[in-house]
């Protein structure tokens, strides 16, 4: 049994390590807090889906809303990625797996539980988070176009970007340990712990290789995202839209920077140390904040504004998107952000 060290521990022994009472308490608190935030994010996603479907249904009976609902499919894709990421994070929690997953599955060996952690990392950093970020970028790019986007083009766009990341993560988790002699922090995705009842618990953690791969994606994404935001800001006259774009830009950039930095640092601690849970929880919160702000600015607020615009009498000048929409005619354009 290892004891928590005052400095970051790099001892990755093969034997299970045990929870100390304080560490076990901190682990339980962070699990409950994580589950509570995930429930809140899922509720926000459900609200977003309700807004999307309500606008879509209402636009079929109100000609004023037909052009305002042209981005519903891409918005739905954005919310879907956030919802799936939330569910995937629930599976990451040992308590949730032990209580709501394992009882309905055949007994899983330790190697199968370790592979479960690897799959969780690939889905989170390779598919769901990049999918959410790329969908957000896609929404920004089509906001300056006048054509209604097709959901198939959005799915292909997301798949082309996420597929290489998933492949790199898979190779780094399954083949990197066999091909290269590297410290365990580069590829170890789980730890085996003993609780106070003598049960073995598999704790998932992010290896350094996954942080490097996701960080490379974020580096390229940040440049493209900033260019897209600058292009939208150069066309937006409405101060409200400019404020929302600035808030979205600041939130995404800060949250991604925090996530990458803390992901890289968290590999220095083991799950038997309190700092490990602090860093992992901070990484989780940064993603939740980014997702919640994205849904609020790109889904809920635009649809709420579109519904209010739809109640106006046709022919009345409406400040929509860039503030140039008048005579009841509105395109897809910057309406995605109004």
- Confirm if 99 and 143 have CB atoms less than 8 A apart: no
Query: Cα–Cα distances in Å, from 4 out to 21, 51, 91, 160, 265?
Result: 12, 48, 27, 43, 17
Sign of CA dihedral 115, 9, 261, 36: positive
Q: How confident is the model at residue 198 (pLDDT cuts 50, 70, 90)?
A: low
- Which DSSP helix (H) or strand (E) runs through 18? strand 17-18
Residue 4 lies in a domain: no
Q: What is the predicted pLDDT for the residue at 135?
A: 94
Instruction: Count other Cβ atoms within 10 Å, centred on residue 197.
Output: 6
- Is residue 196 included in any domain, yes or no? yes
Domain that holds residue 60: 17-337
pLDDT of residue 5: 39
Give the tokens for residue 221.
């994404």
Number of domains observed in the structure of the chain: 1
Q: Is residue 267 part of a domain?
A: yes
Q: Mean pLDDT of all residues in the chain? A: 82
Q: How many C-alpha atoms does 179 have within 13 Å on its Cβ side?
A: 6
DSSP 78-104: HHHHHHHHHHHHHHHSHHHIIIIIGGG
Q: What is the mean pLDDT of residues 178-191?
A: 84
DSSP 247-269: HHHHHHHHHHHHHHHHHHHHTTS
pLDDT band at 179 (very low <50, low <70, confident <90, very high): confident
Q: How many CB atoms lie within 10 A of CB 34?
A: 22
- Measured CA to CA, the distance from residue 277 to residue 7 in angstroms comes to 15
SS3 31: helix
Q: Provide the greatest CA pair distance for the chain.
A: 75
Does residue 236 contact residue 334 with C-beta atoms inside 8 Å?
Answer: yes
Q: Is the pLDDT of residue 142 over 90?
A: no
Q: Identify the pLDDT of residue 329.
A: 36
In a domain, 12, yes or no: no
Q: How far is the C-alpha of 259 from the C-alpha of 282, rounded, in Å?
A: 8
State pTM to two decimals.
0.84
Please give the Cα distance from 244 to 299 (Å, whole number): 12
Domain containing residue 92: CATH number: 1.20.1070.10
In a domain, 5, yes or no: no
Q: Is residue 106 assigned to a domain?
A: yes
Structure tokens of 84?
A: 């799936």
Instruction: Determine the angle formed by the axes of helices 239-266 and 274-295, rounding to 10 degrees.
Output: 160
DSSP 100: I
Higher pLDDT, 73 or 335: 73
Cβ–Cβ under 8 Å, residues 216 and 228: no
Q: Which of 61-70, 144-153, 158-167, 171-180 has the highest mean pLDDT?
A: 158-167
What mean pLDDT is predicted for residues 202-226? 95
The rounded percent of the chain whose pLDDT value lies above 70 is 79
Q: Annotate 7-24 with DSSP letters as a single string.
A: S------SS-EE--HHHH
- Residue 181 is assigned to a structural domain of this protein: yes
Residue 216 lies in a domain: yes
């Amino acid at each position: 049994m290892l004891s928590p060290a005052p400095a970051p521990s790099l001892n990755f022994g093969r034997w299970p390590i045990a929870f100390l009472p304080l560490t076990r308490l901190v682990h339980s608190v962070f699990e409950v807090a994580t589950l509570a935030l995930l429930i809140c994010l899922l509720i926000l996603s459900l609200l977003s889906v309700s807004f999307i479907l309500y606008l879509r249904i209402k636009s079929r009976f109100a000609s004023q809303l037909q052009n305002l609902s042209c981005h519903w499919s891409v918005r739905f894709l954005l919310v879907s990625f956030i919802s799936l990421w939330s569910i995937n994070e629930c599976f990451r929690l040992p308590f949730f797996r032990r209580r709501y997953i394992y009882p309905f599955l055949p007994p899983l060996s330790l190697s199968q539980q370790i592979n479960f952690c690897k799959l969780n990392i690939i889905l989170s950093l390779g598919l769901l988070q990049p999918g959410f970020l790329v969908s957000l970028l896609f929404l920004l790019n089509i906001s300056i176009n006048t054509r209604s986007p097709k959901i198939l083009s959005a799915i292909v766009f997301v798949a082309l970007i996420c597929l290489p990341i998933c492949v790199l993560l898979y190779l780094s988790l399954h083949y990197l340990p066999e091909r290269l002699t590297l410290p365990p922090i580069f590829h170890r995705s789980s730890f085996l712990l003993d609780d106070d009842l003598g049960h073995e618990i598999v704790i998932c953690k992010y290896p350094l290789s996954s942080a490097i791969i996701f960080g490379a994606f974020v580096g390229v994404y940040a440049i493209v995202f900033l260019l897209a935001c600058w292009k939208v800001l150069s066309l937006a006259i409405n101060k409200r839209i400019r404020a929302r774009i600035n808030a979205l830009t600041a939130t995404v950039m800060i949250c991604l920077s925090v996530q990458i930095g803390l992901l890289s640092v968290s590999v220095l601690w083991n799950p038997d140390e309190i700092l490990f849970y602090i860093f992992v929880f901070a990484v989780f919160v940064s993603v939740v904040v980014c997702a919640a702000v994205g849904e609020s600015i790109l889904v809920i607020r635009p649809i709420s504004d579109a519904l209010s615009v739809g109640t106006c009498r046709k022919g009345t000048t409406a400040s929509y998107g860039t503030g140039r929409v008048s005579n009841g005619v509105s395109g897809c354009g910057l309406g995605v952000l109004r």
